[in-house]
Structure 1
Amino acid sequence: MRIDELSPDSSLGEELLTLQRAAYAVEAEIIGDDRIPPLHESLDELRSKPLRWLGAVDDDGRLAGAVAWAETAREVDVDRLVVHPGAHRRGVGRALVKEVMTRAGERPVAVSTGRANLPARTLYERLGFALRGEDEVIPGLWVVHYAFPG
């Protein structure tokens, strides 16, 4: 597996959107709620986000996962982490988040996920992220917020 910079404006845009929908469908199943905004994005909406992207490409040249973030001089905010359901438990998400952490340098890194998404929460906690709070973003849909360093 190699990690490459991605652009949703490239020919990988459709593959990235398909990956994102598959990954968020799994999260929707885990949390019992499909009102996750990226699950319903169009390709144009995906491309319009001012995010930086990295992709994990498997040995067959397929996109196994991707991470997108926004950054300022003071902070890095992981906006989304998506892993192909067939690549779960292979270290893809971990490798992508660790690469973002490396690129962040001394800046803190923030990330949020569904409160009931225990696999994602476990990943972030094992990487040293600390729980910073939770919010009900829309009625009945709760997210938790993490920060690194903790």
Structure 2
Amino acid sequence: MIQKINMKNLSTAKDLYNLQRAAYLVEAKFIGFDDIPPLRESFEDFLNCNETFIGFFEGEELTGAVSYEIEGNELTICRMVVDPKHFRKGIAGKLLNAVEEIDRNIQVYKVSTGKDNQPAKNLYQKNGFILVEDMEVAPGFFISHFEKRK
């Protein structure tokens, strides 16, 4: 089941924080870069971010989540995480579809991932996102920026 996450529920927020760390630790190893911002973020910083979170639950277990921010008619996906025990079950795709159903007035969807994160890049491209640019954000480390326009 997909539902909005209430970040004021500290138990759920802590579950999400731990899920995020587990997912980004796998990504960090995969892309060879461990300075991913969510890995440096304290729980307090996490609670105070201005993002909206949607979670994917299997029963009572939070197995994936996506966060986003909306500005005007643009929606930016800030985080996309899946519990490593639940990789390759289609959870990220279902969360991506849910984000695209949030507001019919959104004209542009944006998302970024590590250039070497081929599974994430495949997910976004399979869902109609177009590579806009690869940007070097640290010496020798590149982020791929994608957009999808209606």
Please indicate, yes or no, whether the TM-score normalized by the shorter chain is above 0.5: yes
* Distance in 1 (alpha carbons) for counterparts of 2:6 and 2:67: 10
Measured on the aligned residues, the alpha-carbon RMSD in Å equals: 1.2
1:1-150 paired onto structure 2 within 5 Å:
2-10=1-9, 11-59=11-59, 61-105=60-104, 106-149=106-149
1:96 and 1:71 map into 2 onto residues whose CA distance is: 16
Structure 2: which 5+ runs fail to align?
A: none
Aligned residues: 148
How far does residue 73 in structure 1 lie from its aligned partner after superposition?
2.0
CA distance in 2, matches of 1:8, 1:140: 35
- The 8 Å contact of residues 8 and 16 in structure 1, kept in 2 or not, is answered as no
Q: Secondary structure at the match of 1:116?
A: coil
SS at match of 1:12: helix
Deviation per CA, 1:23-74: give whole Å up to 9, x if none. 0011101101101010121111111111111000012x11000000000222
Question: Take 1:52 and 1:29, find their aligned partners in 2: how far apart are those partners?
Answer: 27
Q: Is the 1:56–1:65 Cα contact (8 Å) retained in structure 2?
A: yes
Structure 1: 5+ residue stretches without partners: none
Determine if contact 1:77/1:111 at 8 Å carries over to the other structure: yes
- Which amino acid in the other structure matches residue 28 of structure 1? A
1:68, 1:31 → 2: CA distance? 21
Q: Secondary structure at the match of 1:96?
A: helix
Identity of aligned residues (%): 35
Normalising by structure 1, we get a TM-score of 0.94
CA separation of 1:138 and 1:104: change in aligned 2, threshold 3 A: farther
Displacement, 1:18? 0.4
